[in-house]
Structure 1
């Protein structure tokens, strides 16, 4: 039945019930997603409505807008979000859509401005979203009713999160776990050292599924696998992990971990934080395992470990003792997406003195170039009408969990 319904690459609307729900119900437990989930535009639209617009996303580290009146424009799928620091220092996020005729009011990628003037009819908005002036409107016009559409914002340990939802998911478990993890690494006192975006000719789920599993690390990432023990099954690195935890405790630090990976049924956001070891003698994620920058947060020495955080479906964080990584996954169209990588260092670290930018970024640039290639290989393969997904391997436990979570989310109105 499904093959005939999908011959043209789209879900048939005939018959009884919702065809996407039928596809979800037909999913074989323990297996990957079938081909329609990666190229059907109707599924992509549901992804946007029930995953992307429902959950929280890390937009940036607040150090990208360090000064009063700084702003930066972010593009997320069909939406544009203006991130600002208002005159009182508060952080705001607003849609770049004039409340008159819909034109873009912010026409620069970043800068410093107290207000945004729409180039169409000169409506003027303060950098906290309030409408300040609307020329030649009638006397009964209420400016207070026509400010820019504002998004929900949370700033935790320097990370700026936004939600498009009218009633956002509860963020308290996320906030607590971020303080127990990123807080110990000093991310609230960090700054962005470098950012790079990677456009992908692939559905966004292929990119996320690739990120959450390390079954592919050995074959695809030899550089990463030389230093990171996660390239082995978890039961094989228990001793390494125990030694790592002992070193962390000896430094007087308790880096939190916790599994709150949950669906949105109870109105709470999903987050999972876990720790794993680097190989013996490796201090951080670098070419040779040696330090890349000054120590961050509460760390007075290297513990030889990594803290990894999965959050809300599109945000992933990696914490080393001397630098941090933010991975943002951004759906664009049904068959394109973007990965943005953000490297963090201590706010007092200076390039050229405390870190070498090329060395700092080497590992994750190499790894992401490799990821881009294998994700796009997969994207070209899964659209074959002869593609049938195989079983998820034991080392892909996080992918299996992610797939089940995703299917549950798109089934939830």
Structure 2
């Protein structure tokens, strides 16, 4: 088979982008998205180019790279990225691509290196990306300074590491300042990952996020989670009760006395921080509601801190309690496949088997993640049907989903910057 001419590929991509813009322009903002947004391979490619290659993404925690030479790797679509700590405690990010012939440099998910050495031909790079060694056969006029690793924009705040694959990343500093402030009591330089899980959900990444942004399904799906979690986290929520508002007022007074931040902070529809109580008498997301770790985080004065909930679109939500934290990262693998990574954080001096039991620590969210996986996968299978058409969200229970889908739609339209065209026909499954 002859390869497609370059012009034909460009024309096909342009047509897809115009069709995506058209569907977004015509959609009802309180309804779910048209079918191709959840299962079409061409539209998935546009998602990767216009969302995951342009937005700030949660990559991991700075505590995962505590010393010079520590690194971790993540895959953003076809882009393999290395995040590492270099000299003078500086965090770097690079494309995991050798400048010789393009081989990947780091093959393991995490590790520690003195230098970055390509396993193919042993080209060697400093931790700041400079090429140090390229063999003796590149010629006398070979300029090593022109072949350093391709950098990726990286920022860190409050123990979180974010990357952006764009050449001109959008501003994020306002959110990072608030993130640093809200997490200052946790002393994030003094935490560690106690345990980690990785599950693959056979569904589009947007269904994973939509599922997270509402608790409409919680009472019928999450008995373990509802041992501790209140379904809403805002006194302005139309479902909130007088009892809940009284609990919030009491806890906010306690948190103010402890000088622990709790106020709701929003940064558009993309970022949100708020501290909200767990059920009265419950201090942690464990099966019995008691601390999962005996050693509290940072300078937290007592375990009854509720949950500091942190949202970062497009790929993270998080819960910080007094004794431990749970952070989540979402990375698309394909049109109908998504990697969900969960990490449980504790004080770095907490001793496994003495201060915490990993199995007990992860019990609630292991169950919840599996329940959400099954819900999202069934959602995907239904969407794949000929019978699917966009359906209405509940503006009472699913306003968080509406916010996410509208953020996604507005961001896509802005990034596409193309005139609308005819709707995209669904690709065969």
- The TM-score with structure 1 as length reference comes to 0.90
Q: Give, in whole Å, the separation in 1 of the partners of 2:16 and 2:297.
A: 57
| Equivalence for 1:127 | 127
Task: Give the SS at the match of 1:391.
Answer: coil
| Equivalence for 1:54 | 54
Alignment of 1:111-260 (within 5 A): 111-135=111-135, 136-230=137-231, 234-236=239-241, 237-260=244-267
Alignment of 1:389-408 (within 5 A): 389-393=390-394, 394-408=396-410
Q: Give, in whole Å, the separation in 2 of the partners of 1:182 and 1:254.
A: 8
Q: Which runs of 5+ in 1 are unaligned?
A: 1-11, 263-269
Corresponding pairs, count: 395
| Equivalence for 2:26 | 26
Q: Give, in whole Å, the separation in 2 of the partners of 1:185 and 1:395.
A: 31
Deviation at 1:16, TM superposition (A): 11
- The TM-score with structure 2 as length reference comes to 0.87
| Equivalence for 1:8 | none
Indicate how the Cα distance of structure 1 residues 17 and 206 shifts in structure 2: closer, same or farther if over 3 A, else same. Answer: closer
Deviation at 1:14, TM superposition (A): 11
Task: Give the SS at the match of 1:352.
Answer: coil
Task: Give the SS at the match of 1:144.
Answer: helix
Deviation at 1:209, TM superposition (A): 0.8
Is the Cα contact below 8 Å between 2:262 and 2:276 reproduced in 1?
no
Alignment of 1:364-403 (within 5 A): 364-393=365-394, 394-403=396-405
Is the Cα contact below 8 Å between 2:63 and 2:189 reproduced in 1?
no
Is the Cα contact below 8 Å between 2:158 and 2:181 reproduced in 1?
no
Residue 351 (structure 1) aligned with residue 352 (structure 2): yes
Q: Give, in whole Å, the separation in 2 of the partners of 1:92 and 1:353.
A: 35
Q: Give, in whole Å, the separation in 2 of the partners of 1:228 and 1:168.
A: 35
Is the Cα contact below 8 Å between 1:151 and 1:163 reproduced in 2?
yes
Q: Give, in whole Å, the separation in 1 of the partners of 2:182 and 2:14.
A: 49
Task: Give the SS at the match of 1:400.
Answer: helix
| Equivalence for 2:85 | 85
The higher-RCO structure (CA 8 Å, 6+ apart) is 2
Residue 298 (structure 1) aligned with residue 299 (structure 2): yes
How big is each residue's C-alpha offset from its partner over 1:208-248, in whole Å with a ceiling of 9 and x where there is no partner? Answer: 11111111111111111132112596522322222221221
Deviation at 1:257, TM superposition (A): 2.9
Deviation at 1:74, TM superposition (A): 2.0
Q: Give, in whole Å, the separation in 2 of the partners of 1:14 and 1:161.
A: 30
